[in-house]
Amino acid sequence: MLDTLRVALTVFDADGHLTYANAHLGYLFASLPPVPRLIGTSHAALMGLVIAGGEIDEAELADGPEAFIAACREQLRPGNYAPRDIALRGHRIVEVKARHAPCGSAILLWSDVTQARDQFARLEEAVSLSADAFAFYDRKDRLVMANALYADFVGRPLDTLHGCSFEEIVTQVARTGRILLDEAPDSWLKRRLESHATPAGHLTVTTDEGRAFLVRDRATPDGGRAVIFTDITDRVRAETALAEQEGALERSRAEARRQGDYLADMTRRLDQATRRADSAKTTLLRTMSHELKTPLNAILGFSDLMASMAASLSTEQIREYAGLIRQGGANLLKVINQIMDLTKISAGRYDIRRGAVDVGALAWLERDTFAEQASARGITIVADGCPIGLMADADEAVLSAMLHGLIDNAVCHSASGCTVTLSASRRGREIDLCVHDNGPGVAVEDLERILEPFEHAGRGEGAHHAQGAGLGLTLIKAFAELHGGRLELHSGNGQGFSAHIVLPGAA
């Protein structure tokens, strides 16, 4: 896995000798011998080989190879986390980052940042040539780039501004009188910092020299901020500012139209949901009256029995009644949790945390979870068709719950001697995770119906437990669609039952 990285990774022990390097080191420095021959080489010797191979730009070696190697070796010193750029021949630039372990070893990451540095240099040149004052702040709101015009406006040398926070700079400008304020400095500062926190904003300021500037402050895609000062003292700049304000107004109108379309769409969805809710109300009340009252009656009945006969009940009887009470409570909690999950999904408020999930490993874990329960009923669970390393783009906890529900259905609706088979395979860019049992199956005409809320599979006569509220498959289908996938069911009377969770594969 490390050899597939597009970054060279090296590990040096406490004495500065190479103990590991991935394959990309050879791509980064083509003159180096194969990685296995480099193991045990000191950091100084490794850099010497790079120099001997003609990889380093002459400007880096201006003070001599020894000075260059000593400067590079500083990154092995514990506590030194500062990245270092190394210029290579051919106008390439490699950035080296160091991380240190408590045992004294160091990990160095070597990244080719030529393109990024070239783009940054072009941006700096463009900013320096601009007639406007530019400043860029990072996501921590600290200055990373500015031109001389911005430094002149602030009233400080440019090299003293880098790393300063926006609040520090704007406070200095407000309190030193460089801009004319029509209110107290503290009030103006509060409004300026509030506008700085919005996605985009603008204001006009006048300096103590009588120059007027249009200040545009906008968030950048990387989480930082761009601040631009345009001199609008003369009429040409004023006309430019007016055109930009008209453009901003048009963007606001477009956003208003988009919001209007969104509200209209939400209204249509609400109407559809209302109609579905009306049609489902009777089914919900009928189902809930049974699914909630039955366990509640058991809980209250056994609780009253234990309270009235506490003195005459044996330990085994108390344990049995307590278990029945707990089972009733668990059934209630399961129904309530299912209803809450479905409600969140239908309202668009169920958050999933997607990532690469090994579906084969997950299937084996769920198999082990049900192994004892299945063995007690004479049922075999087979997961040989689930290869390790088949990755899906999914929320691991949600996918585990989906698979758990399907296996639970298969085990509980199968008779002794049946087999539950788990399998996972790739369908183009999708991953197919299947749970199959050779039990009684479901009639083909019922397959679509049982995906609706409060419907049952119709194979409950041989089931090991009560049918439940009929929300399990509905919830699994909703979770699959929330991932951009689907739930597929295949069955027939006497043909077993197959449920397929089809999800997008991980990139």
Instruction: Please list the residues that pair with 73 across neighbouring strands.
Output: none
**CB neighbour class for 497 (10 Å; exposed up to 12, middle 13-18, buried from 19):** buried
User: Taking a C-beta distance cutoff of 8 angstroms, is the pair 471, 342 a contact?
Assistant: yes
User: Taking a C-beta distance cutoff of 8 angstroms, is the pair 482, 345 a contact?
Assistant: yes
User: Taking a C-beta distance cutoff of 8 angstroms, is the pair 59, 86 a contact?
Assistant: no
355-358 and 391-394 beta bridge pairing: antiparallel
The type of residue at 301 is G
Other C-beta atoms within 10 Å of 153: how many? 22
pLDDT digit string, tens, across residues 240-254: 667 888 888 888 888
Give the residue ranges of DSSP H helices in 422-507: 472-482
Separation CA 423–CA 359 (nearest Å):
10
The type of residue at 459 is R
What structural domains and CATH numbers belong to the chain?
A: 2-114 (3.30.450.20), 130-233 (3.30.450.20), 265-346 (1.10.287.130), 355-504 (3.30.565.10)
Other C-beta atoms within 10 Å of 126: how many? 11
218: region left, alpha or beta (phi > 0 left; psi from -120 to 50 alpha): beta
| Residue 86 confidence (pLDDT) above 90 | yes
Instruction: Single out the residue of 38, 19, 357, 283 nearest to residue 47, CA to CA.
Output: 38
- What is the model's pTM? 0.40
The type of residue at 284 is L
Share of the chain above pLDDT 90, in %: 37
pLDDT digit string, tens, across residues 314-365: 888 778 778 777 777 777 776 677 667 667 777 777 888 899 999 999 999 9
pLDDT digit string, tens, across residues 253-312: 888 888 888 888 888 888 887 776 665 555 555 555 555 666 677 777 777 777 777 777
pLDDT digit string, tens, across residues 6-42: 999 999 999 999 999 999 998 999 999 999 999 999 9
| Residue 461 confidence (pLDDT) above 50 | no
Instruction: Single out the residue of 299, 338, 339, 342 nearest to residue 321, CA to CA.
Output: 299
For every residue of 40-87, DSSP letters joined together read T-BHHHHHHHHHHTT-B-GGGGTT-HHHHHHHHHGGGSTT----EEEE
